[in-house]
Amino acid sequence: MIKTILLVLLGVFFILNGISHLINNEIYEEYSSKRGLIAPKLMVRLSGVLLIFGGVALASGYLLMIGIVGLSLFLVIASFTIHQFWKERGKEKKLLEGMHFAKNMAILTELIYIAYS
């Protein structure tokens, strides 16, 4: 029962994040463009859809492993292309990007744990 509740909550987190990517796409596109992401407009929209799909998969349990794989790919790609804290010059930017990178790695670890439990 608790695992189900936690999966639903994690799914809602990803769904809301995906909706944010679609609603605030201009902000995400600008941020991604500054990071040198290829085709930021397309990537932001695709990532929004992927986040929503993965979140629904987690929350519903339907196509769970496919959702976990998709979310894991998103987290790895976003972490190593967008949140490159090691390239930042300023302390604040380095700290901010480092926190995003660490958060993504923590969530990735959680998804791997879910996949194997």
Q: Report the alpha-carbon distance of residue 56 to residue 27 in Å, rounded.
A: 24
Token pair for 27: 């902000």
Query: Does residue 29 carry a pLDDT above 90?
Result: yes
User: Where does the pLDDT of residue 117 fall: very low under 50, low under 70, confident under 90, or very high at 90 and above?
Assistant: confident
Give CA torsion, residues 41, 42, 47, 48, to 10 deg: 70
Q: What is the pTM of this model?
A: 0.90
- pLDDT recorded at residue 1: 85
Q: What is the pLDDT of residue 21?
A: 96
The secondary element (H helix, E strand) that includes residue 115 is helix 91-115
The reported pLDDT for the residue numbered 54 is 97
